[in-house]
């Protein structure tokens, strides 16, 4: 009566897996387009504002039309929590990440995102949203998967290895060689600020991890997912505007033409922010923050695949790191599935035991009632 049926939970589980794959495919497209736009001189703060403003323009009317009448009342404390969540989890995280990319490289940025599963897992563990039973097989597997993921991130960040080209559909060898030399030059020119960029990247991912965890907590008190998404888009667009105006005063930098900037803003605003935020809220409600965070390595794998199709060089470190990330990802997901099945089995056993106890109590009550019925005077005289 109180919970969903096993069939409904199974269907939600299948939908959740499909949703996270779609989310990471969308993020892979974001990485490719954002890198191209930022390399072309697009300012990070302006890009973040345009993307959030476009998302708000899309999502807010839909939320008001579909959920306004049935939405729970929005209290002042809940509004303040959503404001803070938007500030730290979206506005601050995206802007700091953009600054970190200037100090480091897009490769390190894509690799560092995969620290998110470990960060989110430990935050969820800290807030009691996740359990780790190290003495069980599933608990050891989950912990091992996290360690493997971190190992994959380390390989991606610190080991490049030999380069090789899988496909070359859109670029020539000369262009690829020139791009590789330019990236090496950029890497050497940022040596002095590399450590600063790494710390900024870690801070950005830490903010993102808090965002995922506290979203799951807030959705319990405010379950209107579309309005919740719309509020975050609207508030983060205002916050991003303040940041962008404070950083960039040149009006020329704010112009959008029919170019890569407009394409990137449209894709990130409509598809990434508008669609994935809602999908993420749904997955968080159904499966929790760790399940969503553990899917982030898929975005790197998809990005590497798309880069190979576009003709970019792939290095051995990326392949090895990607394999470790996928292995760690599925280790954790297998362990979580095992724990969920054990929990369901324990609940069923508990219900059966409760039912048996209730039946025995009912029989005992009936016997006591029969024994305690007083005999009639006629039966005594006879």
Judged on CB neighbours under 10 Å (0-12, 13-18, 19+), 90 is buried
List of the chain residues with pLDDT < 70: 1-13, 102, 104-112, 114, 156-157, 160, 163-192, 194-195, 308, 310-315, 318, 340, 343-382
Give the residue carrying structure tokens 């839909």.
62
**pLDDT digits 0-9 by tens, 266-315:** 898 888 877 887 888 888 878 877 777 777 777 777 877 777 676 666 66
Helix (H, G, I), strand (E, B) or coil at 30: helix
pLDDT at 182: 41
With CA atoms as reference, report the closest residue to 110 among 323, 319, 310, 299: 299
Boundaries of every domain in the chain: 7-374
pLDDT at residue 242, as a whole number: 94
End-to-end Cα separation, the chain, in angstroms: 53
pLDDT value, residue 210: 87
pLDDT at 369: 64
Q: How far apart are CA 44 and CA 326, in angstroms?
A: 30
Q: With contact defined as beta carbons under 8 Å apart, do 179 and 36 qualify? A: no
- What is residue 183's predicted lDDT score, i.e. its pLDDT? 46
pLDDT of residue 85: 92
313: enclosing H helix or E strand: strand 313-315
Burial class (CB in 10 A: 0-12, 13-18, 19+), 335: buried
Burial class of residue 15 in the structure, from the number of CB atoms within 10 Å of its CB (0-12 exposed, 13-18 middle, 19+ buried): middle
State residue 82's pLDDT score: 92
pLDDT of residue 194: 64
Task: Report pLDDT for 239.
Answer: 95
Q: What is the pLDDT of residue 376?
A: 52
Q: Which long-range contacts (CB under 8 A, 24 or more apart) does 3-12 make?
A: 6/344, 12/286
Give the model's pLDDT for residue 314.
Answer: 65
């Amino acid at each position: 009566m109180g919970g969903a049926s096993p069939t409904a939970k199974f269907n939600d589980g299948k939908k959740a897996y499909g949703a996270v794959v779609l989310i990471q495919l969308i993020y892979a497209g974001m990485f490719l387009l954002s890198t191209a736009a930022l390399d072309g001189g697009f300012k990070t703060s302006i890009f973040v504002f345009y993307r959030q403003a476009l998302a708000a323009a899309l999502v807010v009317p839909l939320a008001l039309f579909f959920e306004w009448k049935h939405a729970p009342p929005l209290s002042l404390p809940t509004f303040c929590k959503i404001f803070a969540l938007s500030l730290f989890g979206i506005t601050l995280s995206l802007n700091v990440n953009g600054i970190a990319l200037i100090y480091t490289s897009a490769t390190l940025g894509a690799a560092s995102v995969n620290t998110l599963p470990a960060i989110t897992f430990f935050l969820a563990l800290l807030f009691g949203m996740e359990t780790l039973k190290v003495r069980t097989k599933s608990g050891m597997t989950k912990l091992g998967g996290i360690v493997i993921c971190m190992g994959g991130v380390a390989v991606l960040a610190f080991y490049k290895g030999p380069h090789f080209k899988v496909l070359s559909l859109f670029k020539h060898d000369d262009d690829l060689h020139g791009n590789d030399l330019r990236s090496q030059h950029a890497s050497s020119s940022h040596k002095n600020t590399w450590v600063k960029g790494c710390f900024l990247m870690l801070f950005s991912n830490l903010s993102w991890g808090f965002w995922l965890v506290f979203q799951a907590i807030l959705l319990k008190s405010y379950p209107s997912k579309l309005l919740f998404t719309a509020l975050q888009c609207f508030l983060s667009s205002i916050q991003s505007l303040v940041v962008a105006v404070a950083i960039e005063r040149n009006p020329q930098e704010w112009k959008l033409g029919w170019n890569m900037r407009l394409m990137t803003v449209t894709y990130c605003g409509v598809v990434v922010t508008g669609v994935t935020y809602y999908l993420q809220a749904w997955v968080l409600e159904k499966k929790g923050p760790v399940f969503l965070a553990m899917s982030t390595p898929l975005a790197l794998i998809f990005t590497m695949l798309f880069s190979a199709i576009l003709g970019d060089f792939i290095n051995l470190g990326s392949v090895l790191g990607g394999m470790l990330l996928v292995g760690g990802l599925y280790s954790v997901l297998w362990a979580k599935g095992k724990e969920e099945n054990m929990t369901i089995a324990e609940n069923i056993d508990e219900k059966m035991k409760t039912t048996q106890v209730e039946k025995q109590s009912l029989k005992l009550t009936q016997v006591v009632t029969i024994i305690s019925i007083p005999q009639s005077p006629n039966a005594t005289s006879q």
